[in-house]
Structures are given as structure tokens and as C-alpha cells.
């Protein structure tokens, strides 16, 4: 009985590993920004406004306190009335993408 249980657990584990190896990656995940992107934007004239690191505190427009819990920093760049936020995480959700673009109202 114990042999049957061991073989069934081993076969299920092997099947899961095989599926993980050969199934395609989820297309909803995209590559995030890296140092090359940051250097390109700085060369194009973008200025670094703010760098948010892990456990930094920032405030929303409504005044709510929020903690940044990402392992990698987020870098806020600005040029004229445009704002970019570069995310340096290892994977980004497709809706966020490697960068988020805003416009400031002056």
C-alpha cells in the first residue's frame, strides 16, 4: 500500500513538472523596464523626480497613506507636462507594462 502511494505521488509530481516545463508562459506578463530604458530617457532630456524604494511611504491624491512593497524601485521621470513611472520589477502585468504614462495639468 505504501509503495502504491509513493508511486502515485511521484507520478503526479512528475506530471506537474512536465506540464510546467512545456506549457507556454502566460502572455499577460511582460518584461519590465531596466537600466537601459532609464539611461535612454535621461539622454532624451527626462528628469528624475522621485525614486520610491521598498517600504517608502507616499500619499495618494486624496491624502491616504500608502506603502510601497515592491522589491525593486519605481522611478518617476518628467519632461514638460508628461510623467513616466518606470517599474523595475522582474515581471510586469500587461495592463501596467514596463512604464506608466501620465500628463500633469498645470
> Other C-beta atoms within 10 Å of 62: how many?
5
Domain boundaries, the chain: 27-103
Read off the pLDDT of residues 35-58 as tens digits, 9 standing for 90 and up: 888 888 899 999 999 888 888 888
> Other C-beta atoms within 10 Å of 48: how many?
13
Read off the pLDDT of residues 83-99 as tens digits, 9 standing for 90 and up: 888 888 777 776 666 77
pTM above 0.85, yes or no: no
pLDDT at 101: 78
What does the alpha-carbon distance between residue 86 and residue 80 come to, in Å, rounded to a whole number? 17
Angle made by CA atoms 30, 96, 86, in degrees to the nearest 5: 90
Classified as helix, coil or strand, 9 is helix
Angle made by CA atoms 39, 84, 53, in degrees to the nearest 5: 75
> Other C-beta atoms within 10 Å of 30: how many?
13
Q: How many residues does the chain have?
A: 106
Amino acid at each position: 500500500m505504501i509503495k502504491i502511494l509513493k508511486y502515485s505521488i511521484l507520478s503526479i509530481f512528475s506530471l506537474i513538472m512536465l506540464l510546467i516545463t512545456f506549457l507556454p508562459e502566460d502572455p499577460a506578463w511582460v518584461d519590465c523596464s531596466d537600466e537601459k530604458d532609464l539611461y535612454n530617457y535621461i539622454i532624451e532630456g527626462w528628469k528624475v523626480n522621485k525614486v520610491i524604494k521598498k517600504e517608502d511611504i507616499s500619499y495618494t491624491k486624496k491624502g491616504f497613506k500608502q506603502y510601497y512593497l515592491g522589491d525593486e524601485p519605481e522611478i518617476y521621470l518628467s519632461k514638460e507636462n508628461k510623467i513616466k513611472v518606470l517599474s523595475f520589477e522582474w515581471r510586469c502585468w500587461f495592463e501596467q507594462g514596463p512604464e506608466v504614462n501620465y500628463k500633469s495639468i498645470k
